[in-house]
Structure 1
Amino acid sequence: MTGNAGKTYRLVLSGFYGFRNSGDEAVLKSILTALDEAADHAGIKLKPIVLSGDPEWTSKQYGVEAVHRMKLRDVRRALKNSDGLISGGGSLLQDATGLGSIPYYLGIMALARWCGKPTFVYAQGIGPVNRKMFEPFIARAFRKAAYVSVRDEESATLLRRYGVPPARIDVVPDPVMGLPAWAAAGEDVASPASGGGSYVESASAKRADLVEDTPPVVGVSVRFWRGDRADLDRAAAALEALAGRHRVRLRFLPFHRGADEDASRYVMERLGSAGASAELAPAHDDPQQMLREVGRCALLIGMRLHSLIYAANQNVPLLGLSYDPKIDQFLQRLGQRAVGTTEELDTEYMSQQAVEILRDPERWHQACDAAIARLKKEAGKPSKQIVSLIRK
Structure 2
Amino acid sequence: MSEYSRLKIMLGGVPLGCDNIGDEATLASAVGIFRRLMPECELTVCTAKQRETASKFNCNTLPLYGFDRSPLSEFRRVVANYDLFIWFGATGLSDYPETACALLENSQKAGVATVVWNVGMNNVFNPMLYSLAGKKLKLCKLLESVTWVDWAAHFEKFIHKRVRKRLADTLGKSRLIVLRDEASLLELRKCASFPQAMVGADSAILQKSVEFESLRWEDHCAQMFNSATKRVALCLSSQSPVGELDDFAAWLDNLNLSENVLTIMLPMNPITDYEFMEKLRSKMKYSQKTIMPRFIEPEEIQCVVAKCNLVISSRLHLMILALNHLIPCIGIARGSKINSFLDQFGLPVAGSTGTVDFNTLDYYAKKYLGANDFSLQGAKVRKKMVKNLSEAESRLKSVLYEINSRI
TM over 0.5: yes
What are the superposed Cα offsets for residues 111-134 of structure 1, whole Å, 9 maximum, x if unpaired? 110111111001111242352221
- The one-letter code sitting in structure 2 at the alignment partner of 1:255 is M
C-alpha contact (below 8 Å) 2:37/2:397 kept by paired residues: yes
What are the superposed Cα offsets for residues 330-374 of structure 1, whole Å, 9 maximum, x if unpaired? 01111223023223323344123212111101x222332211222
**Residue from 114, 133, 158 that aligns with 2:187:** 158
Q: Compute the displacement of 1:380 (Å).
A: 4.2
The alignment yields a C-alpha RMSD, in angstroms, of 2.4
Whether 1:30 aligns to 2:29 is: yes
Distance in 2 between residues matched to 1:175 and 1:110, nearest whole Å: 24
Q: Compute the displacement of 1:194 (Å).
A: 2.8
Whether 1:5 aligns to 2:17 is: no
C-alpha contact (below 8 Å) 1:220/1:252 kept by paired residues: yes
Please list, as runs of the form range in 1=range in 2, the aligned pairs for 1:1-392 lying within 5 A after superposition.
5-14=3-12, 15-40=14-39, 45-70=40-65, 71=70, 72=72, 75-95=75-95, 101-127=96-122, 128-129=124-125, 131-165=160-194, 167-183=195-211, 188-191=214-217, 194-195=220-221, 214-225=228-239, 229-273=242-286, 275-284=287-296, 286-361=297-372, 363-392=373-402
What are the superposed Cα offsets for residues 40-74 of structure 1, whole Å, 9 maximum, x if unpaired? 4xxxx211111112322321232211111233465
CA distance change for structure 1 residues 110 and 346 in 2, over 3 Å: closer, same or farther? Answer: closer
CA distance change for structure 1 residues 271 and 215 in 2, over 3 Å: closer, same or farther? Answer: farther
C-alpha contact (below 8 Å) 2:266/2:292 kept by paired residues: yes
Distance in 2 between residues matched to 1:36 and 1:380, nearest whole Å: 14
Distance in 2 between residues matched to 1:218 and 1:46, nearest whole Å: 41
C-alpha contact (below 8 Å) 1:89/1:174 kept by paired residues: yes
Distance in 1 between residues matched to 2:293 and 2:321, nearest whole Å: 15
- The one-letter code sitting in structure 1 at the alignment partner of 2:269 is H
C-alpha contact (below 8 Å) 1:334/1:371 kept by paired residues: yes
Report the 3-state secondary structure (helix = DSSP H, G, I; strand = E; otherwise coil) of the residue aligned with 1:8: coil
- The one-letter code sitting in structure 1 at the alignment partner of 2:326 is N
C-alpha contact (below 8 Å) 1:51/1:75 kept by paired residues: no
Report the 3-state secondary structure (helix = DSSP H, G, I; strand = E; otherwise coil) of the residue aligned with 2:61: strand
Q: Compute the displacement of 1:143 (Å).
A: 0.8
| Counterpart for residue 98 of structure 1 | none
| Counterpart for residue 200 of structure 1 | none
Report the 3-state secondary structure (helix = DSSP H, G, I; strand = E; otherwise coil) of the residue aligned with 1:379: helix
Distance in 2 between residues matched to 1:58 and 1:225, nearest whole Å: 24
C-alpha contact (below 8 Å) 2:350/2:358 kept by paired residues: no
- The one-letter code sitting in structure 1 at the alignment partner of 2:248 is A
What are the superposed Cα offsets for residues 240-276 of structure 1, whole Å, 9 maximum, x if unpaired? 2211320111110011121010111111112212x11
CA distance change for structure 1 residues 250 and 350 in 2, over 3 Å: closer, same or farther? Answer: same
C-alpha contact (below 8 Å) 1:85/1:117 kept by paired residues: yes
Q: Compute the displacement of 1:238 (Å).
A: 2.5
Distance in 1 between residues matched to 2:115 and 2:79, nearest whole Å: 13
Q: Compute the displacement of 1:103 (Å).
A: 2.2
**The structure with more radius of gyration:** 2
State the TM-score, normalized to the length of structure 2.
0.82
User: Percent identity between the aligned chains?
Assistant: 20
Give the unaligned 5+ runs of structure 2.
Answer: 131-159, 403-407
Q: Compute the displacement of 1:308 (Å).
A: 0.8
Q: Compute the displacement of 1:192 (Å).
A: 7.8
Distance in 2 between residues matched to 1:189 and 1:374, nearest whole Å: 31
C-alpha contact (below 8 Å) 1:139/1:162 kept by paired residues: yes
C-alpha contact (below 8 Å) 1:177/1:379 kept by paired residues: no
| Counterpart for residue 203 of structure 1 | none
